[in-house]
Amino acid sequence: MTFFASKWVDRPGHVTELAPTALPEGFVAGAVAAGIKPDGQDVGLLFSEREHTTSAVRFTSNALVAAPVTVARDETDQAALRAVTVNSGNANVSDGDRGLRTARAQQQAAAEALDLEPAQVAVASTGVIARELPRDKAVAGIRHAAESLGPNAQAFSEAILTTDNGPKRACLELALPSGDTVRLAGQAKGGGMISPRFATMLCFVQTDAALAPQTVDLLTGVCVKRSFDRISVDGQLSTNDAVFVLANGASGVQVEPESPDELAVGEAMDALLRQLALEMVADGEGASRVGRVVVRGGVDSVGPVARAVANSPLVKTALAGADPNFGRILQAVGQGLAGRAAFDIDLAVDGLPVVKGGAMVELDYPDDWVKVEASFAADEVEFDLRVPGEGGEAEVFFSDLTHEYVTINADYTT
């Protein structure tokens, strides 16, 4: 079974899949059960053994950020991280100064265990919010995790999970145009509080290519915009979202800016992050299927319309019910364009036109209906919309809204 399971992501031709828990050269990871969650591993540590490691990070845009985000964003050298420590079970949000001191204690503990400066260590947390994160457990967990480091990401990728149904991870080998070979790996989590913009998600990416700091930052920015920035489970922007990309050069392969090799690394990272993002949506809390909405039209219209469709609970429940209720898509489009006069839109479902000029197409019975119903019942369904105007295009991947979402979220802290 390929990692690239979505119909919307192709494995690039120069990419080979390794064991999904493998790591690039010079990276080690580990995890332990520290007692923050009722059971299971909940503290993880990721470490680049190479001194000359470059890095890039991206964080949530929520005005309320978790203490670890504050520390990772404001109290590290974002371009030269060597390690990240992460805990699940508690997101360390809204605990004031005490929460900040706990995040700094985590950073300090990891730095001491790995013989680094604190500014070389980022911190990430995920789990219940507005509860005190037990500092002693978190710090003790980091010390133990440091003793468990090894050249694979199995425990690490599992310790970061919360309501996820399973780990999201891959390790790829890239045959570069220059003839060199490098590795690229990623481990992610995210199932709820997944937002229009990136998500209640954490993602850790490693490569043993040598990349200039500007190159890591550029690739990270472009790839995050096309992946975690384009997914929605419940439209909720998290307080803890973070992406960390580390490049340590352990392969001995230097990838130069604007070279064919850089393009090949970028293509692979794009496919990796898009597939990880799609796994978050498919594993969205209670999700049973994934929709992709692609909107073409006016530059100012396409974004709001794509978000309005992807976040509509009426569209999401129709998808859950495998119910080809186009009207709800049109209603959401109209809401995305609220206050504007024009309503001349086209809609196609998996390529079959069902609305033209704002009015329903008379579908052939029964053939077209069979097709449409099959689309709504499939694991992945695509909605192509054209709205007035030219020059803009936006996509969002979204999950459906099921009973299971309500079950998970109506009883999460208790």
Residues marked active site are found at: 200
Binding mask 61-80 for a copy of itself (x = CB under 8 A): xxxxx---------------
Three-state secondary-structure class, residue 313: helix
Query: For residues 271 and 293, which CB has a smaller minimum distance to a copy of itself in the complex?
Result: 293
* Beta strands 181-189; 168-175: pairing state: antiparallel
- Contact between 1 and a copy of itself per CB under 8 A: no
Residue recorded with tokens 């990796």: 272
Binding residues for a copy of itself, rule CB under 8 A, total 70
232 binds a copy of itself (CB under 8 A): no
CB atoms within 10 A of CB 80: 16
Q: CA–CA separation, 403 vs 133, rounded Å?
A: 30
Q: How many Cα neighbours within 13 Å face the side chain of 387?
A: 31
340 binds a copy of itself (CB under 8 A): yes
Please classify residue 221 by burial: count the beta carbons closer than 10 Å to its beta carbon, then call 0-12 exposed, 13-18 middle and 19+ buried.
middle
Question: Alpha-carbon distance 191 to 244, whole Å?
Answer: 18
369 binds a copy of itself, rule: CB under 8 A: no
In this structure, are residues 264 and 174 in contact, taking their beta carbons and an 8 Å threshold? yes
Q: What is the H or E stretch that residue 264 is in?
A: helix 260-282
Asked if residue 281 binds a copy of itself (CB under 8 A), the reply is: no
The reply on whether position 357 binds a copy of itself by CB under 8 A is: yes
Based on CB atoms, which residue is closest to a copy of itself, 153 or 308? 308
Nearest to 291 by CA among 306, 303, 269: 306
Q: Which is nearer to a copy of itself, 263 or 406 (CB)?
A: 406
- For position 43 contacting a copy of itself by CB under 8 A, the verdict is no
Helix (H, G, I), strand (E, B) or coil at 252: coil
Query: Interface residues for a copy of itself in 190-219 (CB under 8 A)?
Result: 192-193, 195, 197
Q: Which two tokens stand for residue 8?
A: 């919307």
- Nearer to a copy of itself by Cβ, of 212 and 322: the residue is 322
Q: Which is nearer to a copy of itself, 8 or 326 (CB)?
A: 326
Residue from 13, 74, 115, 341 in contact with a copy of itself (CB under 8 A): 341
Q: Which residues of the chain form contacts with a copy of itself (CB under 8 A)?
A: 61-65, 91, 93-97, 99, 128-131, 192-193, 195, 197, 234-239, 311-314, 317-318, 320-321, 323, 325-328, 330-343, 355, 357-360, 401-403, 405-407, 409-414
